[in-house]
Chains A and B, each alone.
Chain A
Amino acid sequence: MKVHPSFLVSDYLLWALVVAVLVYVVYVCKNRHLLESWSLIAKNSITMVAVVVFCFYFFICLLDSIHLRIDSKSYSRDQVSVLDLVLPSHMVQSETTYSAPLSQSLYVKSLLSDHAGNSYRGHALLLGNKARLSTKSLRIRQSLLILEGVIIGLALGLFCHILFLIIFSYKKNISIWSCFNNIWQGKTRFALKSFWLTMFGCFIVLSVMFLLSINYHVMGTTQVGVDVLYETLKSIRTGIVIGTFTTVFMLPFALVLGSMAGYFGSIYDDVIQYIYITLSSIPGVLLISAVILVMQVYINQHAELFPTVSMRADIRLIALCIVLGITSWATLCRLIRAETLKLKQMDYVAAAKTQGVKPISILFKHILPNVMHIVIITVVLDFSSLVLAEAVLSYVGVGVDPSTFSWGNMINSARLEMAREPVVWWPLLSAMLVMFGLVLSANLLADSVRDAFDPKH
Chain B
Amino acid sequence: MISYIIRRIVYAIPIVIGVNIITFMLFFMVNTPDDMARMYLGDKHVTPSAISRWKHDQGYDLPLFYNSDASAIGHVTDTLFFNKSLDLFTFNFGSSSQGRDISHDIWQRMWPSLALAVPTLILGLMVNLSFALLIVLFKGSYIDTFFSIVTVIMMSISGLFYIIFGQYIFGKILMMVPISGYQDGLSSFRFLLLPVVIGVVGGIGMGVRWYRTIFLEEMQKDYVRTARSKGLPEFSVLFNHVLKNGSLPIVTGIVVIIPSLFLGSLIMESFFGIPGLGSYTLDAISQQDFNIVRVMVFIGTLLYILGLILTDIVYAFVDPRIKIGA
Chain A bound to chain B: yes
A435 within 8 A of B: yes
Whether A392 touches B159, Cβ cut-off 8 Å, given contacts A278-B19, A283-B263, A440-B153, is yes
B304 x A283 contact (CB < 8 A): yes
B175 within 8 A of A: no
B305 x A281 contact (CB < 8 A): yes
Q: Which A residues are in CB contact (< 8 Å) with B159?
A: 388, 392
Report whether over half of chain A's contact residues are helix, strand or loop; otherwise say mixed: helix
Q: Which A residues are in CB contact (< 8 Å) with B247?
A: none
A293 x B158 contact (CB < 8 A): no
Instruction: Name the residue of chain B whose CB is nearest to the CB of A417.
Output: B164
A318 within 8 A of B: no
Q: In the bound complex, how far is the Cα of B266 from the Cα of A287, in angstroms?
A: 14
Closest chain-B Cβ to A218's Cβ sits at a distance in Å of 20
Whether A290 touches B26, Cβ cut-off 8 Å, given contacts A278-B19, A443-B155, is yes
Q: Which A residues are in CB contact (< 8 Å) with B167?
A: 418
A282 x B285 contact (CB < 8 A): no
Contact partner, B266, options A388, A396, A443, Cβ 8 Å: A396
Q: Which B residues are in CB contact (< 8 Å) with A274?
A: 14-15, 18
Chain B 29-72: CB-based contact to A (< 8 A → 1; otherwise 0):
01100010011000100000000000000000000000000000
| Interface positions of A from 236 to 287, Cβ below 8 Å from B | 274, 277-279, 281-283, 285-287
| Interface positions of A from 322 to 337, Cβ below 8 Å from B | none
A289 x B267 contact (CB < 8 A): no
Q: In the bound complex, how far is the Cα of B281 from the Cα of A443, in angstroms?
A: 31
Chain A 369-405: CB-based contact to B (< 8 A → 1; otherwise 0):
0000000000000001000100110011110000000
Whether A397 touches B285, Cβ cut-off 8 Å, given contacts A282-B301, A418-B167, is yes
Q: Which B residues are in CB contact (< 8 Å) with A293?
A: 31, 39, 285, 288, 290, 293
A192 within 8 A of B: no
B103 within 8 A of A: no
Contact partner, B157, options A283, A300, A418, A432, Cβ 8 Å: A432
A411 within 8 A of B: yes
A428 x B164 contact (CB < 8 A): yes
A291 within 8 A of B: yes
Total count of chain B residues near the partner, CB < 8 A: 48
Closest chain-A Cβ to B285's Cβ sits at a distance in Å of 5
A447 within 8 A of B: yes
Whether A294 touches B160, Cβ cut-off 8 Å, given contacts A274-B18, A443-B152, is no
Q: Which B residues are in CB contact (< 8 Å) with A411?
A: 158, 160-161, 164
Instruction: Name the residue of chain B whose CB is nearest to the CB of A446.
Output: B152
Q: Residue among A278, A291, A423, A456 with the most chain B CB within 10 A?
A: A278
Chain B 139-158: CB-based contact to A (< 8 A → 1; otherwise 0):
00000000000001101111
Closest chain-A Cβ to B54's Cβ sits at a distance in Å of 15
Q: Which A residues are in CB contact (< 8 Å) with B270?
A: 396
A392 x B267 contact (CB < 8 A): yes
B172 within 8 A of A: yes
A414 x B266 contact (CB < 8 A): no
A415 within 8 A of B: yes
Closest chain-B Cβ to A287's Cβ sits at a distance in Å of 7
Q: In the bound complex, how far is the Cα of B26 from the Cα of A286, in angstroms?
A: 12
Q: Which A residues are in CB contact (< 8 Å) with B15?
A: 274, 277-278, 281
Whether A286 touches B297, Cβ cut-off 8 Å, given contacts A278-B19, A388-B159, A395-B267, is yes
* Contact count A vs B, C-beta below 8 Å: 116
A309 within 8 A of B: no
Closest chain-B Cβ to A453's Cβ sits at a distance in Å of 16
A388 x B158 contact (CB < 8 A): yes
Whether A294 touches B152, Cβ cut-off 8 Å, given contacts A282-B300, A283-B301, A388-B158, is no
Q: Which A residues are in CB contact (< 8 Å) with B23?
A: 282, 290
B27 within 8 A of A: yes
A444 within 8 A of B: yes
Q: Which A residues are in CB contact (< 8 Å) with B18?
A: 274, 278
A126 within 8 A of B: no
A396 x B285 contact (CB < 8 A): yes
A120 within 8 A of B: no
B297 x A282 contact (CB < 8 A): yes
B132 within 8 A of A: no
A384 x B156 contact (CB < 8 A): yes
Closest chain-B Cβ to A312's Cβ sits at a distance in Å of 14
B22 within 8 A of A: yes
Instruction: Name the residue of chain A whose CB is nearest to the CB of B304.
Output: A281
Q: In the bound complex, how far is the Cα of B15 from the Cα of A287, in angstroms?
A: 16
Q: Residue among A283, A388, A436 with the most chain B CB within 10 A?
A: A283
Whether A432 touches B161, Cβ cut-off 8 Å, given contacts A286-B300, A297-B31, is yes
B90 within 8 A of A: no
B91 within 8 A of A: no
A118 within 8 A of B: no
B297 x A444 contact (CB < 8 A): no
Instruction: Name the residue of chain B whose CB is nearest to the CB of A292.
Output: B285
Q: Residue among A290, A428, A444, A456 with the most chain B CB within 10 A?
A: A290
Q: Which B residues are in CB contact (< 8 Å) with A398?
A: 285
Q: In the bound complex, how far is the Cα of B286 from the Cα of A245, in angstroms?
A: 26
Q: In the bound complex, how far is the Cα of B196 from the Cα of A79, in angstroms?
A: 45
A435 x B155 contact (CB < 8 A): no
| Interface positions of B from 274 to 326, Cβ below 8 Å from A | 281-282, 285-286, 288, 290, 293, 296-297, 300-301, 304-305, 308
A26 within 8 A of B: no
A106 within 8 A of B: no
> Which 8 residue pairs spanning A and B have beta carbons closest together?
A283-B300, A278-B18, A440-B156, A439-B156, A294-B31, A297-B35, A289-B285, A281-B304
List 8 additional A-B contacts (Cβ < 8 Å) besides A283-B297, A286-B297, A290-B23: A281-B305, A293-B31, A293-B288, A388-B159, A396-B285, A435-B158, A439-B156, A456-B217
8 residue pairs bridging A and B, Cβ less than 8 Å apart? A274-B15, A281-B304, A282-B301, A397-B286, A418-B164, A418-B167, A435-B158, A436-B158
